[in-house]
Structures are given as C-alpha cells and as structure tokens.
Amino acid sequence: MTPLARKRLGKILLNTAGVLVFLWAVFPVYWMVSTGFKENDQIFTTEFIPFPTHFTFDHFERVLTEGVANNSIWLYMRNSAIVALGTVLIGSAFALLSATAIARFRFKGRGAFLVVLLIVQMLPSEGLLIPLYMMVKRVGLGDQLIGLIVTQVALTLPFGVWMLRTFVAAVPKSLEEAAWIDGAGRMTTFWKVLFPLVAPGLVATSIFSFITAWNDLVFALYLMSGSEGYTMPVALQYFFGQKGVDWGAIMAGSTLMTIPVVVFFLLVQRRMVSGLVAGAVKG
C-alpha cells in the first residue's frame, strides 16, 4: 500500500469509529423520542421498527391532558420548574457572595473552608436525606415545594461556589482597583465592575444548579407525599403501573423532562468540565 492510500484508509477507519460512537451515544435518546411518537402496535412488538411509520401525537396529548396520578404532566413540570428556579435564585446569590469572599480575599480559615467545600460535595445525598427529612418535617415544610428548594440549595451550593470562584478570580483585580481609585465604593464596584464580568460564570453555575434540582429523584420522592407536590422524576414512576408499562406515555413524559436539560447542557458543558477537574486539565 502506498503511504497515501494508507493515510486515506486510516482516515476512513477513524471517521467510521466516530460515526459508531455518535450512534451509540444518540441511539438510546432517539429511541426515547421516537417511541413517544409511535402507535402502540409499533411499540409492543418484538420487531425492530426504527422509524414510527404512523406518526402519532396521542401519547404526548394523553400525558398533557389525562396525565398520571390524577394530574396533568403540566403540574409536575411546573413543580419541577418552581423547585429548579427557586434553587437557582437562592443558590446563585449565596454562591456569588461566597465565591467573591474566597477569590478576592485572603482570610483566616479560607483554606479550611475550601476543603470543607470539596468534602461536602461528595457526601451521599441519600444519607443526607434521612436527617433532612426529619428536619423538614419538624419545621412544617414537609409536602411543600419550599422544603424541597431548601434541600436542593444545600446540595448544589458547594459545587456552585467551587465553580464560580474561578470566574471571580479570572476578573483582573486591577479593574476593581481602577474603580476604587475613581472613587467607587465597594458595593458600586461589585455591581458595576465585578458582576457584569462574572455574569457568564453565574449563568453556567445557575444552569448546573437548575439541572441538579430538576433531575433530583430521591428527595422529591420522600419529602412529597401528595401527588400535587410531585416533580417530574417522581411522576414518571407512576407510569410503571400494575397492569404493565405504558411505554408510549412514559417515553413522551421522559422526552418532555429531557428537553430543557439537553438545551441547557449544550450551553454549559465546557464549564462543567473545567469546574469538576479544576486545575487537572490545562489548556
């Protein structure tokens, strides 16, 4: 084989591998979406039907009107959105304050705080659920979305601070100093100089918190006992009924739950990596 032919063959092999990886990653997602549009006789079959030949919106319509556990999927989507947005609003504000303290000041206990941040991120949330369940019940927030928001703020804050601190640190201190010299107070400097420059990082951190709260199953499952308070991940469990699984409906519901996450994910994935492996990846 000539070197040119070998090079071309190598390229073909690489691209084939690339396509295979793409298919392996995407096929299960495609399967979820396409099953949501298939008619039941094309779902419950031992045949492989790659495309829904009879396109139907029945399943989507059914989950949105009839829903599950006596409520439309809209209610569960709304609950999920309230919890996720509430977590983002409270969590981001707290995270920004803490991140500013860490990135802008050298103070006693700073190192210890950072180590605590790293450690608490790793605690098993199923373990934390047990005492938090007691606490939430005691203060009368059981069955209320606000109780869920509080727990999600706690679970997302450590990583939020960890991620945001690199964004704050990336803003050159000279900019703030220039503002001080011009006579701006600390608050003005914060709002007019630091905040606009950190905003992209704040968006990334917020989306991370949103996704974590949106995806949570275990807290919503045990803190909410009435179906009015279910979030999407809990509601989906009710499609696995006694009489067999309604795959069309559950795939339609899963698709609806997945769409916002995929959209946000494509927006922030680079930040996620840099936050998690902070420092280990250079470049």
Partner 1 sequence: MADTTTVARGRDSSPAPGHRRKKSAGRVRASGMPVWAIPYVLLVPGLLVIAGLLLYPMFQLAVMAFQKVGLAQIRGSRPAEWVGLDNFERILGNDIFWSALRNTVVFAFVAVALTLIMGTAVGVLLHRLGKKMSLFVVIGCMFAWAVPPVAQGVIWRSLFDAEAGIVNWALNLLPDWLAAPPTGQSSWTGTPWLNDTFTLYVALTVCVVWAGFPFIAVSVLAGLKGIPAELYEAARVDGSGPWRTFTKITLPMLKPVFAVLTILSIIWDFKVFSQLYVLMNGPTNRDGFNLSMYAVAEAFKPPQKLGTGAAISIVLTIILLLITIVYVRQIVKQEEM
Residues 134-153 that bind partner 1 (CB under 8 A): 134-135, 137-138, 150-151, 153
Q: 244 - beta bridge partners?
A: 241
By CB under 8 A, residue 222 contacts partner 1: yes
Measured from the CB atom, is 3 or 124 closer to partner 1?
Answer: 124
Give the interface segment with partner 1, choosing from 37-45, 58-66, 71-79, 200-208 (CB under 8 A). 37-45
Which residues ranging from 82 to 141 are in contact with partner 1 (CB under 8 A)? 93-95, 97-98, 100-102, 104-105, 107, 110-111, 113-120, 122-135, 137-138
- Nearest approach, Cβ of residue 38 and partner 1 (Å): 11
Measured from the CB atom, is 5 or 280 closer to partner 1?
Answer: 280
Q: By C-alpha distance, which of 174, 171, 217, 213 is closest to 194?
A: 171
Instruction: Rule CB under 8 A: choose which of 83, 84, 157, 194 binds partner 1.
Output: 157
Measured from the CB atom, is 3 or 182 closer to partner 1?
Answer: 182
Q: How many beta carbons lie within 10 A of that of residue 78, not counting itself? A: 15
Instruction: Rule CB under 8 A: choose which of 2, 3, 25, 226 binds partner 1.
Output: 25
- Nearest approach, Cβ of residue 136 and partner 1 (Å): 10
Which residues ranging from 250 to 269 are in contact with partner 1 (CB under 8 A)? 250-251, 254, 257-258, 261-262, 264-266, 269
Q: Which two structure tokens, joined as six digits, stand for 93? A: 């504000």
Strand ranges in the chain using DSSP code E only, listed in sequence order: 240-241, 244-245
Q: By C-alpha distance, which of 82, 226, 225 is closest to 150?
A: 82
∠ at Cα 208 (203, 209), nearest 5°?
95
∠ at Cα 141 (139, 142), nearest 5°?
110
- Nearest approach, Cβ of residue 58 and partner 1 (Å): 18
Q: 240 - beta bridge partners?
A: 245
- Cα Dmax for the chain: 77
Measured from the CB atom, is 4 or 140 closer to partner 1?
Answer: 140
Long-range contacts, stretch 65-68, CB < 8 angstroms, 24+ apart: 67/235, 68/235, 68/236, 68/238, 68/239, 68/249, 68/253
Q: Which residues contact 236 (CB under 8 A, 6 or more apart)?
A: 68, 250, 253, 254, 257
By CB under 8 A, residue 28 contacts partner 1: yes
> Angle 73-104/110-121 helices, nearest 10 degrees?
150
Measured from the CB atom, is 82 or 114 closer to partner 1?
Answer: 114
Q: Which residues contact 184 (CB under 8 A, 6 or more apart)?
A: 192, 193
Which residues ranging from 51 to 80 are in contact with partner 1 (CB under 8 A)? none
Instruction: Rule CB under 8 A: choose which of 6, 15, 55, 173 binds partner 1.
Output: 15
Instruction: Rule CB under 8 A: choose which of 8, 44, 139, 172 binds partner 1.
Output: 44
Number of residues that bind partner 1 (CB under 8 A): 111
Measured from the CB atom, is 145 or 153 closer to partner 1?
Answer: 153
By CB under 8 A, residue 243 contacts partner 1: no
Which residues ranging from 172 to 201 are in contact with partner 1 (CB under 8 A)? 180-188, 191-192
